[in-house]
Chains A and B, each alone.
Chain A
Amino acid sequence: MSSYVTGIGVISAIGKNVKENLEALLAKRTGISCLTLFESTHDVPVGELKLSNEQLQQMLGLPITKTYSRTALLGMVAVKEALTDAGIKTNSGLRIGLISSTSAGGMDLSENFYKEMLAKPNGGRLRNVISHDCGDSTEKIADFVGIRDYVTTISTACSSSANAIMLADRMLKHNLLDVVVAGGIDPLCLFTINGFSSLMILDNELCRPFDETRAGLNLGEGAGFIVLQREDTLKDKKPYCQLAGYANENDSYHQTATSPDGDGPLRAMAGALKKAGLKPEDVDYVNVHGTGTGNNDQSEGTALKRLFGDKIPHFSSTKVYTGHILGAAGGIEAVYSILSITHDVVFSTYNFKNPMTDIMLTPVVDTIHNAGVNVVMSNSFGFGGNVSSLVFSSLKK
Chain B
Amino acid sequence: MKSCYIENISSISPQNTFGTEEFLDNIVERNPEMPYLSAIEPDYKLYILNAGLRRRMSHVIKMGVAAALECAKGSSVENPDAIITATGLGCLADTEKFLNSIVVNHEQLLNPTAFIQSTFNTIGAQIALILQNKGYNFTYVHRGFSFETALIDAMMQLTDDEATRVLVGAIDEITPSEYEVTKRLGFWRNGAVMGEGAQFFMLSSEKTESSYAELIDVHQFQLKDNEKADDRINSFLDKHSLTMKDVDLVVLGNSGDKLLDVPFQNFKSEISSNTPTAEFKHLCGEYHTAASFGVWCIANILKRQKLPFAMHPNGKVDKLERVLLYNSYQNVNHSIYLLEAI
Contacts and interface: CB of A to CB of B under 8 A. Distances in A.
Contacts of B146: 135, 152-153
A121 B176 CA distance: 12
Contacts of B152: 171, 176
B88 A384 contact: no
B177 A195 contact: no
Interface in B109-165: 110-112, 115-122, 124-126, 128-129, 132-143, 145-146, 149, 152-153, 156, 159-160
Contacts of A254: 129
Interface stretch (A27-35, A62-70, A155-163, A328-336): A155-163
A41 B103 CA distance: 11
A100 to B, nearest CB: 9
A135 B141 contact: yes
Interface in A237-253: 248-253
Contacts of A154: 138-141
A126 B220 contact: no
Interface string B5-34: 000000000000000000000000000000
A194 B141 contact: no
Nearest to A387: B137
Given A135-B88, A152-B145, A255 B126 contact: yes
B51 interface: no
Contact of B159 (A130, A174, A190, A199): A174
A156 B90 CA distance: 11
Nearest to B122: A384
B112 A250 contact: no
Contacts of B135: 249-250
B108 interface: yes
Contacts of A135: 88, 141-143, 145-146
B292 to A, nearest CB: 16
Nearest to B117: A255
Contacts of A174: 1, 156, 159
Contacts of B46: none
Contact of A191 (B98, B116, B129, B156): B98
Contacts of A194: 98, 102, 107, 110, 115
B213 interface: no
Interface stretch (A16-24, A109-117, A316-324, A348-356): A109-117
Counting chain B residues whose Cβ lies within 8 A of the other chain, the interface size class is: 35 or more
B245 interface: no
A197 B137 contact: no
B129 A385 contact: yes
Interface centre among A190, A195, A267, A384 (most CB of B within 10 A): A384
The main secondary structure of chain A at its interface with chain B is mixed
Given A148-B224, A154-B140, A248-B138, A199 B184 contact: no
B136 A384 contact: no
Interface in A96-134: 103, 105, 111, 114-115, 117-118, 121-122, 126, 129-130, 132-134
A135 B99 CA distance: 20
Contacts of A383: 116, 119, 121-122, 125
B261 interface: no
Contacts of A264: 134
A249 B134 contact: yes
B98 A133 contact: no
A148 B332 CA distance: 12
Contacts of A198: 110-112, 115
A295 B133 CA distance: 21
A220 interface: no
A121 B120 CA distance: 27
Contacts of A256: 116
B115 A134 contact: no
B120 A129 contact: no
Interface of A: 40-42, 103, 105, 111, 114-115, 117-118, 121-122, 126, 129-130, 132-136, 138-139, 148, 150-157, 163, 167, 170-171, 173-174, 176, 190-191, 194-195, 197-199, 248-256, 264, 267, 382-386
Given A170-B153, A171-B152, A252-B128, 18 more contacts: A41-B107, A103-B119, A126-B184, A133-B288, A152-B149, A153-B140, A153-B141, A155-B119, A167-B149, A190-B102, A191-B98, A197-B107, A249-B134, A249-B136, A249-B137, A255-B122, A384-B137, A385-B129
24 contacts: A42-B107, A114-B100, A133-B88, A133-B89, A150-B220, A152-B140, A153-B146, A154-B139, A155-B141, A156-B120, A170-B160, A176-B152, A194-B115, A199-B115, A248-B137, A249-B135, A250-B125, A250-B134, A250-B137, A255-B122, A255-B125, A255-B126, A382-B121, A384-B126
Top 4 closest pairs, chain A to chain B, by CB: A384-B125, A155-B120, A195-B115, A198-B112
Interface of B: 1, 83, 88-90, 95-96, 98-100, 102-104, 106-108, 110-112, 115-122, 124-126, 128-129, 132-143, 145-146, 149, 152-153, 156, 159-160, 177, 180-181, 184-185, 220, 222, 224, 288, 332
